[in-house]
Amino acid sequence: VALLVMGDGSACRTLKAPGYLDERAEAFDARATEALAAADLAALDALDETLAYELKAAGRAPWQLLSGAARGAGLGGRLLYEDAPYGVGYTVAAWS
């Protein structure tokens, strides 16, 4: 079984970002990136729904769905890319 799960991080990392600058965005993206890179299911489950909404982080729900689908599979993660072009957080990770 293979899954491709997509979702943006926060859209509030810079003044020109779609959601304008929010000082909480970088820390939110860092937590999400660390969780995705490590396949840390508990950390993904702990991402705050309200904060994600305020930061326009559309990836929270798909990442939490991935967490549920991966439960019990013993997967490990690997970070492939992390950046915030255009003020939007992007992370690419592979789990196997």
What range does the domain containing 87 cover? Answer: 25-95
For the whole model, what pTM was predicted?
A: 0.94
pLDDT digits (tens, 9 = 90+) for 3-60: 999 999 999 999 999 999 999 999 999 999 999 999 999 999 999 999 999 999 999 9
Which one, of 12, 7, 71, 3, lies nearest residue 33 by Cα? Answer: 7
pLDDT digits (tens, 9 = 90+) for 39-50: 999 999 999 999
Structural domain includes residue 53: yes
* Token pair in block for residue 43: 């950390």
Structural domain includes residue 14: no
Label the pairing between strands 77-83 and 90-95. antiparallel
Cβ-proximal residues to 22 (8 Å cutoff; 6+ apart), any chain: 10, 12, 54, 55
The C-alpha R_g of the chain, in whole angstroms, comes to 13
Alpha helix positions (H), 1-96: 25-38, 41-45, 49-54, 60-70
Structural domain includes residue 58: yes
Structurally, the chain folds into a number of domains equal to 1
